[in-house]
Homo-oligomer: A and B are copies of this chain.
Amino acid sequence: MKKIMNHPAQIVSQMLSGLLYANEERLAGIQDTGVVYRKKNSPGKVAIVSGGGSGHEPAHTGFVGEGMLAACICGPIFVPPTPEEILQGIQIADQGAGVFLVIKNFEKDVSNFLAAKEQALEAGYQVEHVIVNDDCSIEEHTFKKRRRGVAGTVFVQKILAAAAEAGYSLSKLKELGQKVVMATNTLGVALSPSVVPGENTLRFQLAENEISFGIGIHGEPGYRTEPLHSSERLAIELVNKLKSQFNWQKGDQFAMMVNGLGGTPLMELFVFSNDVRRLLALEGINISFKKVGNFMTSNDMAGLSLTFLKIAEPEWLDWLKAPADTYAW
């Protein structure tokens, strides 16, 4: 399990140092914290702030920049940042119109971000939040687990950031954020487990030809393991599961993200995108906006996730298409 690193205990701080160096015209950080913020602010506009555990790069540092996040806060690998660090992120991001937090739906992420929000409110900041739970692999009526926040989080961040740039207030962003979250579903498939730097055991096992549907982004196992047949079969499984979530009608309009989980070449993401294209053409579904690449990874996990966002308002599409000066959008 070879990794290009020095000591595992330093991997996140050295990554942050390297990425601030690589993006020094665009990004800055608060020393000895996981806070990364953009150098060009939008005075008088609500600042969109997100974050979570590391290991999902480019999420979330790759989405900090003009037109997108004002700041993000990076924790250790697969561990959310502390409330204290999140508070520092809120403080540096605020431009006088309040801070809006985009939180992925994991228990510890939610509790740390909400604790920071309470502290910020007490300190006189205006703060609102939305919790993203796009992962539809977990059906709430059969599992006690909650729907997790995964790749669809990036669409939520993009839309909210462009709306903030267009002058949306905190309360309007709250309403919009809830609508966009409700309209977003994601499902993933792993070809290999993620190798966490410094860990010697895998969080789940897959045989040589096996894949697992419905995996999470922190090594959570999926809902079904089966042999890998073809890209087309993967597309059929994911598209059908997403179809049942949306109960879509011919002519419905969607944004789509094909997200690599870290170890899958772009060639394979495009082959899969082509299979999705053919299935959607049969369904009569219009994809008005598409992203294919690595956005929300799980270290070096091979596999991908498919996200659909139902475009309920024409502005959502404009906001997805609005310019963003980041290293990964």
Contacts and interface: CB of A to CB of B under 8 A. Distances in A.
A154 to B, nearest CB: 14
Contacts of A23: 290
B271 A15 contact: yes
A72 interface: no
A267 B8 CA distance: 12
A221 to B, nearest CB: 17
Give the interface residue-count category, chain A.
Answer: 35 or more
A6 B230 contact: yes
A54 B17 CA distance: 33
Main secondary structure of the interface of A (DSSP, over half): mixed
A222 interface: no
B209 A297 contact: no
Contacts of A119: none
A121 interface: no
A71 B277 CA distance: 24
B266 A294 contact: yes
Contacts of A263: 263, 265, 300
Contacts of A269: 4, 18
Interface string A1-37: 0111110000100111111011100000000000000
B228 A18 contact: no
Interface of A: 2-6, 11, 14-19, 21-23, 54-55, 57-58, 62, 191-192, 197, 208-209, 211, 228, 230-232, 234, 258, 262-275, 277, 290-294, 297, 299-300, 302, 304, 327
